[in-house]
Amino acid sequence: DNPADCLSRGINPNEISKNKIWWYGPSYFLNVNYKHPLSEVKLAEPLPEQKIACTQIILESSTLFAKYSSISKLERIIAWILRFKHNASRPKYKLVGNLKPFEVYNALEKILIVEQQFHFHEEFKLIQNGQQVKTQLASLHPFIDRRGILRVGGRLQNAQIEYDQKHPIILPKKSIITDLIIIREHKKLLHAGQKQILSSLNLKYWLINGNREIKKIIHKCVICFRLKAQCAQQLMGSLPEPRVTYNRPFHNVGVDFCGPFQLKQSTIRRSVITKSYIALFVCFSIKAIHMELLSDLTADNFLSVLKRFISRRGKPAKIYCDNGGTFKGANRKLSELRNMCKKESANKLQARPKWKAPTPNLQVGMLVLIKDLNLPPLKWPLGRITRTLPGNDNK
């Protein structure tokens, strides 16, 4: 009924005069009662508002475990809780008296199950669903025993050893319970070393990154630090210029005292014995030694010794010492003498010896063992550096 078909499909010119469709159009156009069908328009219903909420499940470790520094104490606390639960549910079979060994062992199992489910929750889901573990525990072939504990699989089912050795309990890394178990084993073995602790724990447990976890615990042990402490050994610096410069003997010297020595006043049998000291002068260039005897360590005696030394060996350019009390007193007296001479004659001043004193090079916050010559090494006190006073060279 489409008039356009006459042109698009073709028609003979003789037939076009008789073609009603071409001249009048479709037949239903001639029908007065014809009504064209109306198409129904379906309006879309308004969509309800939808909001997307992202949720994430975060497992938090039990804060109860972090309150205790001993696994034994934690075991007994959990054991008492389990006993209360047992007595409340079974009043006819109450447990009384002290804790039994099996109660403490059951408490340890409950603690291990909670800690394993926190760190290995994905592995627990895979094993319970019968799927293969594809995490870092895949090489251990883990399985869950009848008590609900995650253990190592392997091929030792027929070995003539204990069940815990064939299938040790897996302990996670960076775990509070793992640290407490290592601490108990460390004390049980009398603060043994890393390899011995790991060998003892492997009889029952399989530690993830065991060497690192044990090393961390030993490093925090104060008793091990005391027994293995070493004196600070700083890297020696360059030798000072007076030590490597060629000069005459005793041009630059260092002085110190040695003694005391007991000396007799005479050669008789019951002679009076007195204390004496030796002032030791060492040349920096050739290591020559000059010794002088002192009756005591007063500043006046040292000045007398220094006077005798200068008269024998000549005046040194610099004198190095440990800045002791005797040397400070001598320095003060020489300063007074210099000030007095300065007032009298400024052109007759002599150069004052230059005093040196070594200083330690330590850092704030370091834990140190304070060496005390009056105490045995095991009684030396521990200390922590809270403040340093650097010099001009920041050392």
Looking at 3-54, list the stretches that DSSP marks H as alpha helix, in order from N- to C-terminal side. Answer: 5-8, 13-16, 20-24
Residue with tokens 């041009």: 251
pLDDT tens figures, 244-276: 888 899 999 999 999 889 888 888 888 888 899
**Same domain assignment for residues 326 and 249:** yes
Say how far apart CA 193 and CA 258 lie, in whole Å: 42
The share of the chain scoring above pLDDT 90, in percent, equals 40
Six token digits for residue 22: 């071409």
Residue 237 is assigned to a structural domain of this protein:
no
Q: Is 3 helix (H, G, I), strand (E, B) or coil?
A: coil
pLDDT at 158 > cutoff 70: yes
Residue 321 is assigned to a structural domain of this protein:
yes
* pLDDT tier at 207, thresholds 50, 70, 90: very high
When pLDDT is averaged across residues 234-244 and rounded to a whole number, the result is 83
Residue 302 is assigned to a structural domain of this protein:
yes
Asked whether 196 and 188 are in contact (CB, 8 A), the reply is no
**Same domain assignment for residues 277 and 250:** yes
Residue with tokens 């300063």: 335
* pLDDT tier at 231, thresholds 50, 70, 90: confident
**Same domain assignment for residues 22 and 97:** no
pLDDT tens figures, 300-335: 999 999 999 999 999 999 999 988 888 999 999 988
pLDDT tens figures, 73-102: 999 999 999 999 999 999 888 998 899 999
Say how far apart CA 305 and CA 295 lie, in whole Å: 11
* pLDDT tier at 61, thresholds 50, 70, 90: low
* pLDDT tier at 56, thresholds 50, 70, 90: low
Residue 205 is assigned to a structural domain of this protein:
no
Residues ≥6 apart with Cβ < 8 Å to 262: 273, 274, 275, 276
Residue 174 is assigned to a structural domain of this protein:
no
Beta strand pairing call for 367-369 and 382-384: antiparallel
Say how far apart CA 222 and CA 276 lie, in whole Å: 43
Residue 259 is assigned to a structural domain of this protein:
yes
pLDDT score at 363:
82
* pLDDT tier at 109, thresholds 50, 70, 90: very high
Residue 372 is assigned to a structural domain of this protein:
yes
Q: Residue 94 half-sphere exposure, CB side, CA atoms within 13 Å?
A: 7
**Residues of the domain holding 65:** 61-119
**Same domain assignment for residues 287 and 317:** yes
Residues ≥6 apart with Cβ < 8 Å to 190: none
For the chain, the domain total comes to 4
pLDDT at 178 > cutoff 90: yes
Asked whether 197 and 91 are in contact (CB, 8 A), the reply is no
pLDDT score at 9:
80
CATH no. for residue 306? 3.30.420.10
**Same domain assignment for residues 286 and 329:** yes
**Same domain assignment for residues 26 and 110:** no
pLDDT score at 43:
73
Residues ≥6 apart with Cβ < 8 Å to 208: 136, 170, 171, 172, 173
Say how far apart CA 93 and CA 106 lie, in whole Å: 17
Asked whether 250 and 316 are in contact (CB, 8 A), the reply is yes
* pLDDT tier at 216, thresholds 50, 70, 90: very high
**Same domain assignment for residues 255 and 280:** yes
